[in-house]
Chain A
Amino acid sequence: GQQVMQIPQYQHVQEGEDFTTYCNSSTTLSNIQWYKQRPGGHPVFLIQLVKSGEVKKQKRLTFQFGEAKKNSSLHITATQTTDVGTYFCAAPPTTSGTYKYIFGTGTRLKVLA
């Protein structure tokens, strides 16, 4: 079945450093979503990417969807302590319609002040 792999699993950065997490799929994705989950919290929707090569920015966050629509990345510029949490990508299997979202394994970010 389709799997969505994320790397790295963990990342510790000094406050002010940049951070990037990557999401890779073995199959072409119709779209990809990114979520952030704070420790003890629930996933919060960040963005959805649909088009090949799409790049979207939200303040210090930059999201990219690969040209082949098999990978995606989330880049945070100048991390802050408020960025702490686990970042998940999620995508629907191409063979099962768009209702079921498969979540990646997540990247846990720690920011050291």
Chain B
Amino acid sequence: DAGVTQSPTHLIKTRGQQVTLRCSPKSGHDTVSWYQQALGQGPQFIFQYYEEEERQRGNFPDRFSGHQFPNYSSELNVNALLLGDSALYLCASSLAGEQFFGPGTRLTVL
């Protein structure tokens, strides 16, 4: 059973560009949450998707948007990238509370 997978592993973008990150949840998990983790910090909740809808959102601007597909996989889109968006983006899938994190996508904005 593959755990949570994310792609790409690393990404380099320039300011103002747009990026799409992808996540496939653990088999049987229907809920996907996205987190941003800056270096040396704890993960910050971006939003959570359940049944293809955004169920809850953290304190992130509208530049951050997402989508969940019928197979429960999910995408995170970030528009108009800023230098401060450089971070590790983590996807977590869950069932009954326990969250399984993927390896993350390291985004660098130059």
Contact = CB atoms under 8 A, between A and B. Distances in A.
B43 A103 contact: yes
Contacts, number: 53
B90 A88 contact: no
Query: B interface, by DSSP: helix, strand, loop or mixed?
Result: strand
Interface of A is mostly: loop
A98 B96 CA distance: 11
A100 B48 CA distance: 8
Nearest to B91: A42
Interface of A: 31, 33, 35, 41-45, 48, 88, 90, 96-106
15 contacts: A31-B97, A33-B97, A35-B101, A42-B104, A43-B90, A45-B98, A48-B97, A99-B55, A100-B45, A100-B48, A100-B56, A101-B33, A101-B45, A103-B44, A106-B42
Interface of B: 33, 35, 41-45, 48, 50, 55-56, 58, 90, 92, 97-104
Top 5 nearest A-B pairs (CB, nearest first) are A103-B42, A99-B56, A42-B101, A43-B101, A100-B45
